[in-house]
Structure 1
Amino acid sequence: MPSSVRLPVVLALVVAGLIAGLWTLLGRPVAMPPSPLAQGEKLPCVSYAPFRDGQSPFQKGLVISEAQIDEDFARLAKITSCVRTYSIEMGLDKAPAIARKHGLTMLLGIWLGPDVDRNRVELDTGIRLAQENQDVVKAVVVGNEVLLRGEMSATELASTIASVKRQVAPVPVTYADVWEFWERNKGLTENVDFVTIHILPYWEDLPVSASEAGPHVDEIRQRMAEAFPGKEILIGETGWPSAGRMREEALPSPSNQARVMHDVVALAKRQGYRVNVIEAFDQPWKRRSEGTVGGHWGIIDADARMPKFAWGQPVEDYPGWRMHIGVGLVVVAGVFASAFAGGRKREDGLQTRDWLAVAGIALFGGATLGAALSAMPLESLGFFGWLRNGLLFAVAVASLIVMPAVIGRGQGLAPFSVALDARRWAVSSGAAIAAALMLALAAVAVGSVAFELVFDPRYKDFPVFPLTAIVAAVAAPMLVRRAERDGAGLGEVIATWGLLVAGVYVPLNETLSNWQAAWFGTLCLILSFTLWRVQAVQRKG
């Protein structure tokens, strides 16, 4: 084998091995503690919303068919003995009869909000259903987080609860809200038979990590029991998302969701209190208001309608890891082939440092492109969501093809104007134009995400997988040669400083315990430095 071929072949094999090893390691199932449920035992209760993909509670006139609810309850009867509903509209007035068919009991929810007429319909129907189905309806939940949303006063709510309580007796009545709002409105306990609190460690003002979520839930429940002596405390909502952005140390993932469920159910059994898990099925519609994470709280997948984990069994965080390896190997082959093609007419051939830069592109691009592909269905919502993430993926692919060829041609980075100013095309090489275009696209891709994460971050994802491929590809030429073109201007200056600020601000704002934010911040800083180098070269003339 010629020496000019031996080095890139060896590097390609090493990079391929690293990618395969990385995803084999990340793909290993995460061990779970022993099942907190005995053989044949079911979850005490789970929250149920009937909406599937394309359906939402905001669709006027939508009525969920009895067949759909029946199918859902048939699945839920295998894993729980109780369902909690939140409303009686959109077909849910049929839920008690269907629950009876499948041997389920219910915590029947009556939705309250600012619309007085809608409240009256909910109240009248909910009261009737409770009266007619006392064998199924084990409690009525009058209102859900209406105080949190600020849609009713505590006085008005207390009066409404008292009215329902008189009419549905002997069925117990409660109200459900985030635990802090019970602390602020202790007088409500006079009108309820038991207190229903929501404890969602991920959404706390100070987010709690998955490893501490179970103890946190137990601690808050004990705190509320001490605050309301003589009243039973039902944990009406607790759970963990399986996908979405980190909040400080709180990482959504399949294994973290399973671990939190194991811990909470085990603690509830050991301490002897009731708990309701949120939620039964993933609810895609919640992604519009809460981002990716909002649609992935279910313990059953929205599409396959299958449980996401088995109690006591290991859980995979990256079920597509084998595909990630396959994509990575294709990327490695493509990157090195592109560099070979770019350097065919180069008299001095590619030097060792050129191949090392190409290997870096192959490593980072190959390690992340498959994961970017897997993340797209999770993080893309609607036409514009798919368009945006599709464009990020397309830029990542393009950068992995173009930039190795640029290095192969012996071309360094070039400022935006080389690609964006038509007057420069005639005096610039194709490789220079391609390098400038990819640098501009990288600045737009990373900059647009940075803008969101600086000014409106709460529900925004960190699309680090496609951005890693992009940044690695456009930064690689900086390692081997200086840009030889002048013309850097205000665009590079704005992008440099904007990305510098974002690279510092985002990780600090999210806290350094959020490794997704730290990863994104690092990408911003690398690209900022790359753009600064283009300007520095231009000033040296």
Structure 2
Amino acid sequence: MPSSVRLPLVLALLVCGLIAGLWTYLGRPVSMPPSPLAAGEKLPCVSYAPFRDGQSPFQKGLVIPETQIEEDFVRLAQITSCVRTYSIEMGLDKAPALARKHGLTMLLGIWLGPDADRNRIELETGIRLAKENPDVVKAVVVGNEVLLRGEMSATELANVLARVKREVGGVPVTYADVWEFWERNKGLTENVDFVTIHILPYWEDLPVSAEDAGPHVDEIRQRMAEAFPGKEILIGETGWPSAGRMREDALPSPANQARVMHDVVALAKRQGYRVNVIEAFDQPWKRRSEGTVGGHWGVIDADTRLPKFAWGQPVEDFPGWRMHIAVGILSVIAVFGSALAAARRREEPVRPPEWYAIAAIALFGGATLGAALSALPLESLGFVGWLRNGLILAAAALAMVTMPVVIVRGQGLAPFSVALDSRRWPATSGAAIASAAVLALATIAVGSVAFELVFDPRYKDFPVFPLTALVAAVAAPLLVRRADRDGAGLAELIAMWGLLVAGIYVPLNETLANWQAAWFGTLCLVMAFTLWRVQAVQRRG
């Protein structure tokens, strides 16, 4: 074997081994506590919304086909004995009859909002259904978080509750809202048979980790029981998302979702209180208002219509980890392959430090590119979302095969103007133009994400996987080459300071418990340092 091939081959094999080891470790199933449900036992109740991909409650005139609701109830009857609905319209007036057909009971929801005409229809239909189906409708939930949204006053809501309670006969009546709003409006208890509270540890003002979510739910429930003596407390919503961005140390993941469900159901059984899980099926439409995390609260996957986990059984956080390894190995081949092809046209041998820099590109890119592919459909919403995230992923892949060639050609990082000013192209090498173009793409990619996470972060993801591959490829030439001396200007300076500020602000704003934010902040700082090197060399020149 020629000596010129031996080192890159050894490095490529080493990088492949590291990638395989990393994803084998991360892909291992996470063990769960014993199932809180006895053999044949089902969840006490789950929230149900009938909307599938392409459907939403904001579509005027939409009526969910009765067959679609029945398909859902057939699946739900396998895991629960009760469903909680939120409105009567869009075909859900057929739900009580379908629930009876499949052995389900209901917490029948009546939606209230600012539209008086819609409220009237919901109330009239909901009261009628409750009176006609007392064997199925075990309670009427009049309004959902209407106080939280500020769409009704407590006085207006109390009057509506009193009306429903008079007209539904003996069917219990309640109102559902986040627990803090019940604490602020205790007078509502005069018009309800029991208090329905929502406890969502992930969405708390001070987010609660998955590990502490179960005890947190139990603590809040006990606090509410003390605040409303003599009234039963129903936990009307509690759960955990399986995908999305972290909030402080609250991490959405399949394993964390399963763990929170195990803990909450076990505590409810042990303490003897009722709990309703949010939610039955993932609701893709919620991603538009709540980001990626909004569409992944279901215990049943939106696409496969299958449960996301089995009670008491281990859960994989990265079910595609084998694909990640395969993509990683292909990435390593592409990185070293492009470098070796460029090395054939180089007179002197490629130096070991240059191969080490190329190996760094292969390692960071190969370790993250597969995960970036898996995250793409999760984090991309609509044409703009797919376009942006697709371009970032494409830029990462392009950088991984371009920057090794730049290194082998002996080219350092070049400022933006080398690529953007066509007047310079005739006197500039292709490697320099490629270097400048990739640097500009990386700056735009990281900068656009940083802008969102600084000014409007609540529902924005941290796309760290594709950005890691991109940033590593851009920064690698600094390990072996100085940046070009000529052409750095105001654009690099502004971008450098912007990324420096974002790299510090984002992790501090999200708190250091959020490792996704810390990871993204590190990428911003690496890019800021990279741009500073271009600036620093230019100033010395």
Quick check: 484-493 or 252-261, which moved more? 484-493
Match of 1:122 in 2: 122
> Who is 2:90 aligned against?
90
Q: Residue 73 of structure 1 corresponds to which residue in structure 2?
A: 73
Partner of 2:370: 370
Tell me the secondary structure at the aligned position of residue 466 of structure 1: helix
Give the letter for the 2:524 counterpart: C
Which amino acid in structure 1 is aligned with residue 182 of structure 2? W
Aligned counterpart, 1:287: 287
Q: Does 1:440 align with 2:445?
A: no
Query: In 2, Cα distance between the equivalents of 1:536 and 1:114?
Result: 58
Q: Are the counterparts in 2 of residues 346 and 410 from structure 1 also a CA contact under 8 Å?
A: no
Q: Secondary structure at the match of 2:88?
A: coil
Q: Within 2, Cα distance between the matches of 1:204 and 1:348?
A: 61
Question: 1:148-175 deviations in whole A, cap 9, x for unaligned?
Answer: 0000000000010010001002000000
After superposition, what is the alpha-carbon deviation per residue over 1:237-293, rounded to whole angstroms, capped at 9, x for unaligned?
Answer: 000000000000000000000000000000000000000000000000000000000
Counterpart residue identity of residue 133, structure 1 = N
Moved more, 27-36 or 335-344: 335-344
Which residue of structure 1 aligns with residue 243 of structure 2? 243
Q: Which amino acid aligns with 2:203?
A: W
Q: Does 1:17 align with 2:12?
A: no
Q: Paired residue for 2:46?
A: 46
Structure 1 residue runs without a partner (length 5+): none
Give the match's secondary structure for 1:355.
helix
Distance 2:71 2:535 in 1: 62
Aligned equivalent of 2:257? 257
Moved more, 265-274 or 401-410: 401-410
Q: Matches of 1:24 and 1:114 in 2, distance apart?
A: 52
Q: How far did 1:345 drift? A: 2.0
Q: Does 1:531 align with 2:501?
A: no
Are residue 233 (structure 1) and residue 233 (structure 2) matched?
yes
Contact preservation (8 Å) 1:341, 1:408: no
**Partner of 1:409 in structure 2?**
409
Render the CA deviation track for 1:82-128: whole Å, top value 9, x for unaligned.
Answer: 00000000000000000000000000000000000000000000000
SS in 2 for 1:458: coil
Q: Deviations over 1:166-186 (max 9, x none)?
A: 100200000000000000000
CA contact (8 A) 2:288 2:381 kept: yes
- Does the CA contact (< 8 Å) of 2:45 and 2:277 recur in 1? yes
Alignment-derived partner of residue 358 in structure 2:
358
CA distance in 1, matches of 2:147, 2:442: 45
Give the counterpart letter for 1:524 in structure 2: C
SS in structure 2 of the partner of residue 465 of structure 1: helix
Tell me, what secondary structure is at the counterpart of 2:234? strand
Tell me the amino acid that sits aligned with residue 89 of structure 1.
E
Distance 1:365 1:227 in 2: 54
Structural mapping, 1:82-231, within 5 Å: 82-231=82-231
Residue 395 of structure 1 pairs with residue 392 of structure 2: no
- 1:185-241 per-position Cα deviation (integer Å, ceiling 9, x unaligned): 000001000000000000000000000000000000000000000000000000000
CA distance in 1, matches of 2:253, 2:114: 35
Letter in 1 for 2:221: R
Counterpart-to-counterpart distance in 2, 1:61 and 1:485: 63
What residue is the counterpart of 1:457 in the other structure?
457
* 3-state SS, counterpart of residue 301 of structure 1: coil
Whether contact under 8 Å (2:415, 2:484) holds in the other structure is no
SS of the aligned residue for 1:206 comes to coil
Taking the aligned partners of 1:532 and 1:341, their CA distance within structure 2 comes to: 31
- Tell me the residue number matched to 1:349: 349
* Structure 2: runs of 5 or more not aligned: none
- Give CA deviations for 1:22-53 in whole Å, capped at 9, x if unaligned: 00000000000000000000000000000000
399-408 vs 336-345, which moves further: 336-345
For residue 427 of structure 1, report the CA deviation from its aligned partner. 1.1
Identity, % of aligned positions: 84
Once residues 156 and 40 of structure 2 are traced to their aligned partners in structure 1, the CA distance between those partners, rounded to angstroms, is 44
What SS does structure 1 have at the residue aligned with 2:297?
A: coil
For the Cα contact (< 8 Å) 2:243–2:254, is it kept in 1?
yes
Letter in 2 for 1:339: A
Whichever residue aligns with residue 90 of structure 1, its letter is: M
Which residue in 2 is equivalent to 1:483? 483
Q: Distance in 2 between matches of 1:430 and 1:236?
A: 62
Q: 1:349 to 1:484 in 2, by over 3 A?
A: farther
Q: Following the alignment from structure 2 to structure 1, what is the Cα–Cα distance between the partners of residues 349 and 478?
A: 18
Alpha-carbon separation, structure 1, partners of 2:332 and 2:448: 28
Equivalent positions of 1:487-498 (< 5 A) are: 487-498=487-498
C-alpha distance in structure 2 between counterparts of 1:92 and 1:477, whole Å: 60
Taking the aligned partners of 2:344 and 2:287, their CA distance within structure 1 comes to 49
Give the partner amino acid of 1:286: K
1:340 maps to which residue?
A: 340
| SS of alignment partner, residue 234 of structure 1 | strand
Work out the CA distance in 2 between the residues paired with 1:476 and 1:76: 52
1:489-531 residue CA offsets vs partner (Å, 9 max, x unmatched): 0100011000000000000000000000000000000010000
Runs of 4+ off more than 6 Å: none
- Matches of 1:119 and 1:20, distance apart in 2: 57
CA distance in 2, matches of 1:445, 1:343: 29
Distance 1:368 1:484 in 2: 29
Residue in 2 aligned with 1:470?
470
Taking structure 2 as the reference length, the TM-score comes to: 1.00
Query: What TM-score comes out, normalization by structure 1 length?
Result: 1.00
Quote the residue 1:515 is aligned against.
515
Report the CA distance between 1:20 and its aligned residue: 0.2
Secondary structure at the counterpart of residue 233 of structure 1: strand
Q: 2:30 matched to which residue of 1?
A: 30
CA distance in 2, matches of 1:275, 1:94: 25
Structure 2 counterpart of 1:480, one-letter code? V
Say whether the 8 Å CA contact 2:413–2:478 is kept in structure 1.
yes
d(CA) in 1 for partners of 2:388, 2:302:
23
SS in 2 for 1:109: strand
Number of aligned residues = 541
Q: Partner letter of residue 114 of structure 1?
A: P
Structure 2 letter corresponding to 1:180: E
Aligned twin of 1:3? 3
**RMSD of aligned residue pairs (Cα, Å):** 0.5
Between the aligned partners of 2:362 and 2:167, the Cα distance in structure 1 is: 69
What is residue 266 of structure 1 aligned with on the other side?
Answer: 266
Check the 8 A contact 2:158/2:188 in 1, yes or no: yes
Please say which of residues 439-448 and 2-11 is displaced more in the overlay.
2-11
SS at match of 1:318: coil
Q: Is the counterpart of residue 499 in structure 1 residue 499 in structure 2?
A: yes
* Residue correspondence of structure 1 range 317-328 to structure 2 within 5 A: 317-328=317-328
**8 Å CA contact retained: 2:396, 2:470:** yes
Query: Per-residue deviation at 1:485?
Result: 4.2
Code of the aligned partner of 1:216: H
Q: CA deviation at 1:539?
A: 1.4
CA distance in 2, matches of 1:105, 1:502: 51
1:27 and 1:287 map into 2 onto residues whose CA distance is: 26
Which residue in 2 is equivalent to 1:62?
Answer: 62
Post-superposition offset of 1:484? 2.9
State the distance in 2 between where 1:232 and 1:342 align: 73
CA offset at residue 346 of structure 1?
1.8
**Aligned-partner Cα distance in 1 for 2:449–2:10:** 36
What is aligned with 1:276?
276
Asked if the contact 2:144/2:176 (under 8 Å) is kept, the reply is yes
